[in-house]
Structure 1
Amino acid sequence: MKTLVLGASGQLGQCLKAVAVERNIDTLDFPDEAAGNILNVEKLQNLFAEKKPDFVINCAAYTAVDKAEDEIELCRLINQQGALNVAQVCKEFGATLIHVSTDFVFEGNEITLLKEDDIAKPINVYGLTKLEGEKDIENTLVKHYIIRTSWLYSEYANNFVKTMLKLGAERDELSIIADQIGSPTYAIDLAGAILDIIASGKEAYGVYHYSNEGSVSWFDFAKGIFELSSTNVKVNPIPTSAYPTKATRPKFSVMDKSKIKSTFGIAVPYWRDSLKVCISRLVS
Structure 2
Amino acid sequence: MRLVVTGREGQVASSLVERAHAHPDVEVIALGRPELDLAKPETIAPALAGVRPDLIVSAAAYTAVDRAEDEPELAFAVNGAGAGHVASAAAALGVPVIHLSTDYVFDGSGERAYSEDDEPAPRSVYGASKLAGEHAVARANPRHLILRTAWVYSPFGRNFVKTMLKLAADRDEIAVVADQWGNPTSALDIADAILHLAAMLHGNKGFASFGVYHLAGTGETNWSGFARHILDTSQAFGGPYAAVRDIATADFPTKARRPMNSRLSTEKFAAIFAWNVPEWRKSTETVVRRLPGGETKQALNA
TM-score class normalised by the smaller sequence: over 0.9
| 1:95 CA drift (Å) | 1.6
CA contact (8 A) 1:41 1:89 kept: no
Residue type at the aligned position of 1:233: A
Query: Relative to structure 2, which stretch is displaced further, 198-207 or 139-148?
Result: 198-207
Matches within 5 A, 1:101-140: 101-140=101-140
Distance 1:75 1:109 in 2: 24
Gaps of 5+ in 1: none
Partner residue, 1:66: 66
More divergent stretch after superposition (228-237 vs 114-123) = 228-237
SS in structure 2 at match of 1:208: strand
**Distance (whole Å) between structure 2 residues aligned to residue 48 and residue 120 of structure 1:** 30
Structure 2 alignment gaps of length 5 or more:
202-206, 294-302
Match in the other structure for 2:281:
272
Whichever residue aligns with residue 250 of structure 1, its letter is P
Q: Does the residue aligned with 2:169 lie in a helix, a strand or coil?
A: helix
Q: Which residue of 2 aligns with 1:215?
A: 220
Aligned to 1:229: 234
* CA distance in structure 1 between the partners assigned to 2:60 and 2:158 by the alignment: 15
Shift of 1:235: 1.1
Q: Distance in 1 between matches of 2:47 and 2:65?
A: 30
Distance 1:166 1:48, change over 3 A: closer
What residue number does 2:146 align with? Answer: 146
Determine the C-alpha separation between the residues in 2 that align with 1:178 and 1:74.
31
1:9–1:33 CA contact under 8 A, matched in 2:
no
- The 8 Å contact of residues 229 and 279 in structure 1, kept in 2 or not, is answered as yes
Aligned to 2:271: 262
Deviations 1:10-69 (A, max 9, x none): 111101101012333442222342222233344333233322212100111001111111
Aligned partner letter, 2:224: F
CA deviations on 1:90-148 (whole Å, 9 max, x unpaired) are: 12111211000000000111211100121000001100000011011112210000000
Report the Cα distance in structure 2 between the residues aligned to 1:123 and 1:82, rounded to whole angstroms: 21
* CA distance 1:188–1:25, shift in 2 (3 Å): farther
Matches within 5 A, 1:173-188: 173-188=173-188
Counterparts of 1:166 and 1:269, CA distance in 2: 25
Aligned counterparts of 1:53 and 1:186: Cα–Cα separation in 2: 25
In the alignment, residue 235 of structure 1 is paired with which amino acid? V
Give the Cα separation in 2 of the matches to 1:70 and 1:47.
30
TM-score normalised to structure 2 length: 0.91
Write the deviation string for residues 137-189 of structure 1: whole angstroms up to 9, x where unpaired. Answer: 11221000000000000000000000000101110111110000001001000
Cα distance in 1 for partners of 2:45, 2:158 equals: 31
How far apart, CA to CA, are the structure 1 residues paired with 2:114 and 2:275?
18
How high is the sequence identity, in percent, across the aligned residues?
39
RMSD over aligned Cα, in angstroms? 1.3
Structure 1 distance, partners of 2:137, 2:11, is 22
Give the secondary structure class of the aligned counterpart of 2:31. Answer: coil
Contact in 1 for aligned 2:45/2:86 (Cα 8 Å): no
Counterpart amino acid of residue 228 in structure 2: K
How many residue pairs match? The answer is: 284
Distance 2:226 2:279 in 1: 13
- Which residue matches 2:11? 11
Asked whether the equivalents of residues 217 and 277 of structure 2 are also in contact (C-alpha less than 8 Å), the reply is yes
Hey, what's the Cα distance between the residues in 1 that align with 2:71 and 2:251?
25
Q: In 2, Cα distance between the equivalents of 1:221 and 1:82? A: 32
Tell me the secondary structure at the aligned position of residue 57 of structure 1.
strand
Q: How far 1:267 moved relative to its partner?
A: 2.1
Contact in 2 for aligned 1:39/1:85 (Cα 8 Å): no
Using the size of structure 1 for normalisation, the TM-score is 0.96
Q: 1:226 to 1:49 in 2, by over 3 A?
A: closer
Q: Which moved more, 1:125-134 or 1:227-236?
A: 227-236
Give distance in 1, aligned partners of 2:42 and 2:65: 29
Name the SS for the 1:30 alignment partner: strand
Residues 1:142 and 1:172: Cα distance change in structure 2 (over 3 Å): same
Task: Check if 1:253 corresponds to 2:262.
Answer: yes
